[in-house]
Every structure is written in C-alpha cells, then in structure tokens.
Structure 1
Amino acid sequence: MKAVVYQGPEDVAVKEVPDARVENPTDAVVRITTTNICGSDLHMYEGRTSVEEGKVLGHENMGVVEAVGAGVSRLKVGDRVSVPFNIGCGTCRNCVHGWTSFCTRMNPIEGMDGAAYGYANMGPYDGGQAEFLRVPHADFNLLELPEGREHENDFTMLSDIFPTGWHGVELSGMVPGDDVAVFGAGPVGLMAAHSALLKGAARVFVVDKEADRLRLAESIGAIPVDFSAGDPVEQITEQTRGRGVDRGVEAVGYQAHDPAGDEHPELVLDNLVKVVRSTGGIGVVGVYVPQDPGAVTEGAKQGRIGWDYGTFFTKGQSMGTGQAPVMRYNRQLRDLIVAGRATPGFIVSHELPLDQAPEGYRNFDDRVEGWTKVLLHP
C-alpha cells in the first residue's frame, strides 16, 4: 500500500510499504477515506522529535472498515468509522476511568503512558496517512459514523483536533458566560474557540499573527487579536476593561515564537498567567516534550521551561494539561455535527490526494497564506 513515510527533517515521501493487516483477533483494518496533516506532525517534520526514519505518519484518520479479526463483535466490514488518535486497551485503570490518552498497556516505551498512531514516542504503531490502517482493540477504539460521505470534512476532525480543542476548554474549567482567551489560531486553537462558543462562552479572544487564521476565528464569532500589532495581554485587558479573562487555552506548544520569529517556549504560558484573572483556569493542549534537542536554551532541551509560576501561584490560578482522551468527547461531538450545531470543517483549506502529501507538509509548515488545514484522500 502507499503511505507517507518520514525520511528525516523536512523530508517525507509517499512510498510502498507492507499492507496493513489483521494481526490479532481484536484488530480491524480501516480503508482510509480522509487523513489529516496535524500541526503536531510538524514537530516531527522539522526534526524536533525523536521519531525514527521510516515511520508511517498520520494520527488523524477516518474511513471504512475493510476487515475484522475473529474477536471483533461490535463492528462489521463496511462500517464508516472515526479512529481516535489514542490507542486504548480498554481495560487498564486509566482507560476504565476515561483517560484513554494515558493508557498504561499499549505503549511499550519505558515511562510513557499513552499510545498513538504514527507519532514519536507513542509506540510502534503505523500511522494512517496511508491507504489502510490497522486498529488494535477495534471494538473499543472505533467510533461509528453515519454511512455515506456526508459531513466528511467535519467528521475527520473527530479523531483529534475537535476533541483536543474541546478538552482544552474543559481543562480550563470554563462555564457558560465566561470570557476565554485562546492563544494560537492553528487548527487546535480554532477548534478550542469553536468549542468555547458552543459551550456558552460570553466572548472568545483568539491570539495569533497570521491574517488568514484570524479571519477564520472572526468568521465563527470570536474576537481576533493580532499579537504582531501589539502586546496581546494589553489588547485583551483593554477590551475587558482591565479585568482580563476567566479562562485561557494554550494551543501553541513548546515552539512558541514572538512577532520577530524568535523562539520563546515560555511565552504563551507567561501571557496566559498575565491575562487570566486571579482564581481563573488555564487549559494546556499545545504540545510540550520531555526532550527537545533543537531548543533554544539548555533547560528547554531537557523539557525545563522557566515560566512565571510565581505569579500563577500568587493569583491562585489552576491549570490542566495533557493530550485529549478523545473517546470522552467524540460521540457527543459527532452528534453535534449531525445536528448541525458544530461545523469543525470550516478550517479546511486544502484537500489533496495522498501523492501530494509532501507538498501539503511543506506549505503547511511554511505557513503559506491560506494553508490552514490540509486533508489527504488516499
């Protein structure tokens, strides 16, 4: 089968690899209809992770069940499904408590709880930027979708970024009527803004410097804040009459940059501590890693980031972090899409055949104007 393979920094290629197949009785094989390039894939693409050469990439996947193992009883060939990026066993303590993003059994790497498709340090699993994908524990992990092709560009967000954006808002502790600041208007940040508005936020401020992304934020009713035009904390504080916001979402991660393009991994955390009111909450779903050889400081190379914890403590703020447990949210978000209440596909800018994946990676990573979300169709 054809698949997108990591070959080194800024080098991915579409190659022939062994076909995905049923290896265990509880496996299914999914024929991929849509697979997305995720912003977190760019960390690997840029050489900022320990991903090995030859890895098949892709953790945002959906498609149709092509084959099932003898132990699969809930699903059948022909079912249309969304594949959560988390791979859960379904029976460990974390999975049973709804934390499939921290499954203790599926990742054999020492010290790492949580497994995923096609990603650094997340286990030996091939990704779904390919024609087919093997899904372990399929009865537990797969979400059934209405048959056909309707809502394809909305449903494809259910595997990761829509639940991740929703999770960021949940981690912040938002309740209806709160003001929310989302830092980062990439796909996850835009999903967080969409989620906050769906959940009843009074106002959602979205901070970025890319005009195309800020236009998308404004199109769904959020308030764009261009940090290249001035201090975003000051801009939001002025618009909230000095009060700040109730909740904040970090959707940037460890490669945060200032307007000049210089990297400051603590930048967004510091800004959120400043702009969120005392006793407010912050949800962090931007990616941070334990080791980053390409970091700008020695501490950051070891995952040690010097952010303003003292003010965070003094203000009595709370913070939640970590990858989203997709299955906690994906059924409800699917139903919001079917009902016409949620439209996460609004972020899609490009749909490409699998063979054009290298072009998609290059333009998305270069932040070429208009390249906000890339879908691949094998």
Structure 2
Amino acid sequence: MKVLAAMSGGVDSAVAAARAVEAGHEVVGVHLALSRMPGTLRTGARGCCTIEDSMDAQRAANIIGIPYYVWDFSERFKLDVVDDFIAEYTAGRTPNPCMRCNERIKFAALLEKALALGFDAVATGHYANIVTDADGNTELHRAAAWAKDQSYVLGVLTAEQLAHSMFPLGATPSKAEVRAEAAERGFSVANKPDSHDICFIPDGNTRGWLADKVGAEPGAVLDRTGAVIGTHDGALAFTVGQRKGISVGFPTNDGKPRFVLEIRPKTNEVVVGPRAALDIAEIAGSKFTWAGLPPAHPDLAFDCEVQIRAHADPVPAVAQVVPLADADGVPDGAVELKIIPNEPLNGVAPGQTAVVYVGTRVLGQCTIDRTVSAVPVDLVAESQAAVRA
C-alpha cells in the first residue's frame, strides 16, 4: 500500500513510520505545521509541533530513507481546534482539543488530502489496534499495552476513517520497547520526552490563556440552592471538579470544602457544592458516532463500559440511544446517547467525551451535553442563608 506517515517529531511516530516501511509499504513522511508562529524550542515536555519537532521528524525520515514534507494545516487547526476550544469554554463546557484534532485534522483534513493524492492509508504512532472481522468490517480496539493505550482519543473515528488508518505500534507491549527500537535505529528522538498538556498552550497556563483570548469579568459564586456565597474573577477560569481558587466569603455549614459543579457563562456564575455532588449517575450526548458497525439495536439498552478521560479506568454501564423531547415532553425527532454507569462517575463536565467500549473494542463516543448528579440538593446542609444572616 501507499502510506502517508504522520510524523510529529516524537519517538512513537518515527518508529511507526519505520515499521510501515519494513512491512513492505511505500511510505512518505509528513509533518503537520499547526501554528503560524511555532516556538523554536520546546519547553521540557510541554507542547508539540514546534520547529524543533519538525527537524526531529526530518532526521528520522532521513534515517528511514523516505521522502519527507511539511504541510501547513495551521489555518484549519485554528478554526477546527483552537477556535472550537475557545467556543466550548465560552459556552461553559470543558472540551478535549486532542479529540478534536484527531477528528478534524489527522483523520479528516489529513486523511482527505492523503486519499486525494492517491495514498491508501495514514499511519500514526497511536497505541491502538484495528481489527477486521470475518465480514471485512473494521473495528477499533485497545492497544496491547493498556498503560499506553490511546484508543480513547481515537474514539471519534468512523468506520470509513478506520478503513484507511494504520497504527503500527498497537501490538507493542511497552513504550520502553519502542524507545529501545528507536535507539537501535539511530533515531535522535529515542529518549525525547513525551509531549503533554495542550499543544497550543505550551506553558500550561490555560486560565491565563483564556483570559487573554476572551477576557475575564467578576461574577458570583453560588451554592446549589442559588444562594450567593462568594465572588470570582472570571467564570471561564474554572473547570468542574476544581477545588482550589474558589473564593467563598464565609464557612460552609458543614465545614467541608466546596468544589466546582457547574459553570454558567451566560450569567457569569460558578456553582459549587460538596465533593459528593460531583458523583454523576447519568450522562448523555446528542453528538455521537460509532467506530465501526453500530449495535444491532442501539435503541435497546445494551451493556458496555464507559471511559470519560484518556487515562481513566473504564466503568461498567448501560447505554441506549433515546429520543429527545421538547420543553413539553414531546419528542422532537432528535436522539441522544444516554449512558448510565453501574457506579457514579466523578467530576464529569459537559463538553468532555465519553467513549463506549465492549470488551477491548471501541464501540463509539459522544460529546457530553448533560449530566445528572447522583446526589440531590441538601437544602439544610448546603444553604448559606443561616450563616449569612
């Protein structure tokens, strides 16, 4: 096959490209320039896609002996990932830019261009496996090394995208083996630190970055009863589950700390409550996709596992596609994927991605629109009215 290897400048994508060549494919390497003003050097392990990363990718391609190009995807990245990130936070949701990047850049924009140029597949350094069933249908599965498994961030891929994707590292037992292989091949990136955090916020200061982009206005901090118990300097600086940085002007009735439960951007309010209120009994999202064949009857409840973060443990659950209703309870023709975990999920926020598994297989995913707390409001314990009086 003719394969386009996406080379980020890291050790994983370099080894993946080399393995694709050894598997007998005709491989071309490409590095995606995602910023018009990339930093010249990385800061430790923060960020990616810098000039240094591009040079690291080129050195690896030269050793492998494959053609290498840099493609400018900066405008598409800004529109589909950065602007989306800002819009989601502005709407009070907690987005996952890595999911959007995989969905809209690496396996949409890049794959579309690759197919248009005559390539059969795009290869990346993700740790995941693609399995073809007896009928020729593609499925996405967890990697052999669960500690490095990245199937969660690939849960947005469709059957058509999986049919043109390749993950040469999926069966590798450990990251240490990949680094050892890179060293044997003479790659300078063999011991390069993994990138982490948000690539377009390399200093890790998401709060400051958002304040610079969209501004920050003081507002009220409320408890779950609606009582004002403090103030904040900008609602967008908070995320669900956060404890630090909450300014409450007087002690809570139970003397326990409060956590962010909800952000209301329209009213610039932050709702806080006890830790127990972070437990979520139900999540749902209308933006859902299937990674391969969908369930035979998705409108009937089916057993699965749900994972809400890249490195979270999967939780047994029951999922079902259900109709949405208007304010009067009348179905409006739309549907959502509703997921009820067997045990409460903790600190889930709208905007996060819930990936559904059946065994090792990624069945599909949804962007969470709503959550239902497992803990009802305790008017006595949570109200601050008596304290304030």
Q: Calculate the TM-score normalised by the size of structure 1.
A: 0.28
**Greater C-alpha radius of gyration:** 2
Which one has a larger percent strand, Structure 1 or Structure 2? 2
Q: Calculate the TM-score normalised by the size of structure 2.
A: 0.27
